[in-house]
Amino acid sequence: MLYKRPKLVALVGPTASGKSVLAIKLAKKFNGEIISADSRQIYEGMDIGTAKSYRTKNEKRKMKNNILIIEGIPHYMIDVVKPDKEFTLTHFKKETLKIIKDIQKRGKIPFLVGGTGLYVRAVTDNLEIPKVPPDKKLRKKLEKEIEQGTKKSYHKLLKLDPAAKKFIDPQNPRRIIRALEVCLKSEKSFSQLRKKGEEFFDVLEIGIKLPKEKLHKKINQRVDKMIKQGLIKETKELSQKYSWDLPSMSGIGYKQIGMYLRGEIDLKEAIELIKRDTRRYAKRQITWFKRDKRIKWITNYKEAKKIIKEFLIS
């Protein structure tokens, strides 16, 4: 008898496409629990700017071991670390694999949900993360080089590792620095060290597809909502505890409101920049996910429900 790998559903798509709402609905239907694959929602206290599923602290109910209950559904890998703590892809993969196996052991369906493509791929493809420890001295040097923009550093990376173009976002300084660090320390390409291992799960990947105009409208509406919910206050409170230089504080939303709080731009400009940068980020996410031909694209709950039902009985 052939061994059947346990089932895992991955729900992906660009920011503001409605992943969180759809995931909760599907988890309720299929006795599931949700693991966030979002590189920003891991940070405690960064709620409004990262669009966590709960809208206010009163709506957030927390259990032990970092499990959030949102609309009756357990959510994992949200509020995992403080904004000034390092959290690597290796950390994410290790913790997420444990959570998924525990969910499966209890007879439930794990839903891996998020827009951070590398987080999703690390789990679904069992990526072997390069075992190159961080070098603080080298990182500081690379950070100084990237301060004037990512373009020069990105070209430097592509000279060392041309294949990195397939999976390193040219606008993501953290990823560029890490890839350069691996190349320079190991004297091997980052892509060469980043290999697939034996897959642990039978994976169904679903992607939310929206017309560009509708997605842009949703992004703009969500940014306006964030401002009304208190993004400025949240960012100000965070800045009193944490440095603007932290990767967590340079995320979309916090970066632009930080510029406003420091008097570098006015509020109207900050809001427009958040909207523009979010739209650009969504475009990069779509490009990333479109490369994966395994993803089944859907436009609504009914389509997703049908595909998942067929997958679970197969």
pLDDT of 163 strictly over 80? yes
pLDDT of 59 strictly over 80? no
pLDDT of 8 strictly over 50? yes
What domains does the chain contain, in order, with CATH numbers?
7-128+196-211+286-313 (3.40.50.300), 136-193 (1.10.20), 212-282 (1.10.287.890)
* Contact in structure between 221 and 28 (CB atoms under 8 Å): no
pLDDT in the model for residue 43? 95
The mean pLDDT value for 43-56 works out to 83
The mean pLDDT value for 253-273 works out to 97
Compute the distance between CA of residue 48 and CA of residue 192 in angstroms, rounded to an integer: 38
The mean pLDDT value for 48-54 works out to 85
Residue 2 gets which letter from DSSP?
P
Q: Which amino acid is at 22?
A: L
pLDDT in the model for residue 175? 81
Length of the chain: 314
Closest to 66 measured CA to CA, from 35, 110, 108, 27: 35
Q: What is the pTM of this model?
A: 0.88
- Written as six digits, the tokens of 104 are 């499966």
By three-state DSSP, how is residue 297 classified? strand
pLDDT of 15 strictly over 90? yes
pLDDT in the model for residue 104? 97
pLDDT of 138 strictly over 70? yes
pLDDT in the model for residue 166? 75
The mean pLDDT value for 28-50 works out to 96
Please, which residues have CB within 8 angstroms of residue 275's CB and are 6 or more apart in sequence?
219, 220, 223
Compute the distance between CA of residue 284 and CA of residue 299 in angstroms, rounded to an integer: 19
Residue 166 burial by CB count (10 A; 0-12/13-18/19+): exposed, middle or buried?
A: exposed
By three-state DSSP, how is residue 271 classified? helix
pLDDT of 74 strictly over 80? yes
pLDDT in the model for residue 1? 42
Closest to 114 measured CA to CA, from 215, 207, 226: 207
pLDDT of 309 strictly over 80? yes
The mean pLDDT value for 97-114 works out to 97
pLDDT of 278 strictly over 90? yes
User: Computed over its alpha carbons, how large is the radius of gyration of the chain?
Assistant: 19
pLDDT in the model for residue 171? 74
Average pLDDT over the chain, rounded to whole?
Answer: 90
- Written as six digits, the tokens of 305 are 């429900």
pLDDT of 55 strictly over 60? no
Residue 34 has phi, psi (to 5 degrees) of -110, 135
